[in-house]
Amino acid sequence: MSAVEVWLDPDIRVGTLFSHRGRSAESCTFTYSAEYLAHPEAYPLDPSLPLDAHPFHSVRPLFGAMADSSPDRWGRTLVQRTLAEEARAAGGAPRQPSELDFLLGVRDDLRQGALRYRLPQDDPGSFRAAAQDGVPVLADLGDLLVAADRVGADEAGLAELRRLVGAGSSLGGARPKAHVRLPGGAIGLAKFPAAAVDDWNVMAWEHVALGLAERAGIRVPPNRLVPVSGRDVLVVERFDRRSEQRVGYVSAMTMLELADGDRGSYLDIAEVVEEASPCATADLEELWRRIVLGALISNRDDHLRNHGFLREPSGWRLSPAFDLNPVPMAGDFATDVESPGEADRLDAALRHAEFFRLTDTRAGEVLAEVREAVSWWRDLARAAGLCEGEIRRMEPAFDDAA
């Protein structure tokens, strides 16, 4: 059994996480500290961890709030390959990392959300994993992209792996990425093209989708396309940071107490908003706008990790929208409006508008506003530098926007 102290920035010890690893499974236990339970601003880290002094046990390797601050698939790849290369360099055999290895392998200052981790024997004030170097800047994107390409081709050496691990990984997905310091000091997440798997300019189209969402009245993080060696890199500003202050973050999956692979619905997310948001009316309307936008741009990868909540003093607010990607091919949406097999997504959204505190009249107005915003998709695509051939190829994604 391994023990890890869980902290909230800047200096609040929340409790202790105990990791149990058997031959074929991992589980965990968490106990809040007495000082956290007595703190006037204490809040449950996630719905499965209500404020109580008794230990909580999960058959999963990590509780949802901790899993949300673990590396995504790209980050896990980096951590696993780095540990393997380090073992080989030391003359040993690589081992399969535990979920605790992954959790503690993320760079502390770039970790998603507000949770921090240290081992009981660590020096006071130090956290896993401490930064070895400064955050890269935009001028470093070329070298980082080359290193990411080499990881994708399974050709990266230990130095390249360590550099990418040091650049952090956060906010979900398998796409190669790294953090960069933006002019003015903010932290941005640079999302790289993946030549081996991308069938179109995914980064440029995500930039277009974020622009359409903003026009449609949906909050999105500031973002920009940066050309690097003739390829587009999307740099998205971190929304779980306010200057140097960390902001608590959990995914919709965590709020629904589900796991990877479980299906949920927008009605489920709406229920969470009703219960947890201090601005429920505004958040519910925006959530409904996101359903409609997703239908109009064919953003099918809207799974539960691609929806999130930020901690406010009085509750959990819907986070800005992220990972919006139009897809020009038929397929199912990852999250249903109400139930699987919905033939017409817009019709389903309209039929359930009342659960988002919308009257039929208001729902019609919002739908019209989002349609008008999406009608600019070709203009935004051209402004992003996409050629007419790419625009024609993406037309099926916007069929419902006509």
Summarised one tens digit per residue, pLDDT across range 18-63 is 999 887 799 999 999 999 999 999 999 999 999 999 999 999 999 9
Asked, for residue 214, whether it belongs to a domain, the answer is: no
The pLDDT score that the predictor gives to residue 170 is: 54
Asked, for residue 148, whether it belongs to a domain, the answer is: no
Asked, for residue 193, whether it belongs to a domain, the answer is: no
Q: Are residues 102 and 249 in the same domain?
A: no
Asked, for residue 339, whether it belongs to a domain, the answer is: yes
The pLDDT score that the predictor gives to residue 23 is: 77
Domain boundary among 118, 146, 178: 118
Asked, for residue 397, whether it belongs to a domain, the answer is: yes
Nearest 5 degrees, angle CA 356-CA 357-CA 360? 95
What number of helices (H) and strands (E) belong to the chain?
14, 14
Q: Nearest-CA neighbor of 133 among 168, 169, 183? A: 168
- Pick out the chain residues at pLDDT < 70: 169-173, 402
Domain boundary among 101, 118, 135: 118
Give the distance, in angstroms, between the CA of residue 282 and the centroid of all CA atoms in the same chain.
22
Asked, for residue 157, whether it belongs to a domain, the answer is: no
Kindly report the CATH number assigned to the domain that includes residue 258: 1.10.1070
The pLDDT score that the predictor gives to residue 172 is: 56
The pLDDT score that the predictor gives to residue 75 is: 87
The pLDDT score that the predictor gives to residue 402 is: 67
Domain boundary among 118, 135, 155: 118
The domain of 13 spans: 2-118
**Block residue for tokens 């996630």:** 46
Q: Which residues contact 266 (CB under 8 A, 6 or more apart)?
A: 287, 288, 291, 335, 336, 337, 338, 352
Asked, for residue 293, whether it belongs to a domain, the answer is: yes
Give the distance, in angstroms, between the CA of residue 109 and the centroid of all CA atoms in the same chain.
16
Asked, for residue 195, whether it belongs to a domain, the answer is: no
Assess contact for 89 and 133: CB atoms under 8 A: no
CA distance 83 to 78: 9
Q: Record the pTM.
A: 0.94
The pLDDT score that the predictor gives to residue 173 is: 65
Burial group, residue 59, by CB count within 10 angstroms (0-12, 13-18, 19+): exposed
Contacts 24+ apart (CB under 8 A), 99-103: 99/19, 99/26, 99/61, 99/62, 99/67, 99/70, 100/2, 100/4, 100/19, 100/21, 100/61, 102/70, 102/71, 102/75, 102/76, 103/4, 103/62, 103/66, 103/69, 103/70
Q: Specify the number of domains making up the chain.
A: 2
Q: Which two three-digit tokens encode residue 59?
A: 């058959």
